[in-house]
Amino acid sequence: MSNWNLLKEGTIKSFSIKEQVESFYKLRPREWVLLGAMLLATIISFAFGGFFDVYSWVGLVTSVATAISLILVDRGFITNYFWGFIGSVAWLIVSIHNNLIGDIFTQIFYTVMQFVGILIWYKSLNSTEVNTAVVSRKISKKLAVLSIIGVIVIYLIVLFTSKSLHGSMIYWDATLLPLGIAGQLLMTYSYRSQWIAWIAIDAINVYIWANKLFVENASGASSMLVLQVVMLIQALYGTYLWFKRTDE
């Protein structure tokens, strides 16, 4: 079967209402608690944030879709890519509004990679007997070194670009794309080391959006800040699950 047909089938599976319902049904009680806490914190921060313009509502959509996507990623369910697509597109809109150049590039990359991820994960699921969740893999030393070098090179390129375009918080913002590329590629090929990148991104984003909220008082920043905090907590949980579940 061609990659195009596999992508088509994988996208249908990821976006299927039936598959979505089955994925939610398989979540453990503690995962429902974590998801509920993330969504509740996001909604409360939005309600009390004092901003109800279009970008604030888009920020809320971003937070909700991303929270659901991350819970499904934790379990290795391909249905995460439906929510990831919604979240990355909505996040892109918020990033453009806040002039975060590095984040804009990052979200464009994430949006495209949702479909690359669908293709790779669908192939992986078809090669297993269970066909429900992907297997967690250990990264090789060579690939780890290449990933680090790649992150550094892309960081310098994004930093130069952000300076040229007069971006906001450029030194921190420029880390998001290289770390995001590393994390997304490692996630696409089911490497557990992806979580190192996600934890770093979440921690940096907590700082960036805290600055946007408390220093610049930007619209939509409250929902985004709460999202980053719960994403950081969720990333720690995901790290536990993926390092516990390996193919070795």
Task: Check whether 248 has a pLDDT greater than 50.
Answer: no
What pLDDT was estimated at residue 50? Answer: 67
* pTM of the full structure: 0.73
What pLDDT was estimated at residue 247? Answer: 46
Alpha-carbon distance 151 to 175, whole Å?
Answer: 8
Q: Which of 51-55, 118-122, 173-177 has the highest mean pLDDT?
A: 118-122
Alpha-carbon distance 237 to 173, whole Å?
Answer: 25
For the chain, give the mean pLDDT.
84
Task: Check whether 67 has a pLDDT greater than 60.
Answer: yes
- Residue 101's domain comprises 3-244
Listed in sequence order, the residues at least 6 apart from 200 whose beta carbon sits closer than 8 Å to its beta carbon are 175, 179
More confident residue, 7 or 225: 7
DSSP calls for 139-194: PPHHHHHHHHHHHHHHHHHHHHHHHHTT-SSHHHHTTHHHHHHHHHHHHHTTBTTH
Alpha-carbon distance 25 to 68, whole Å?
Answer: 13
When divided into structural domains, the chain yields a total of 1
Distance from the Cα of residue 190 to its chain's centroid: 14
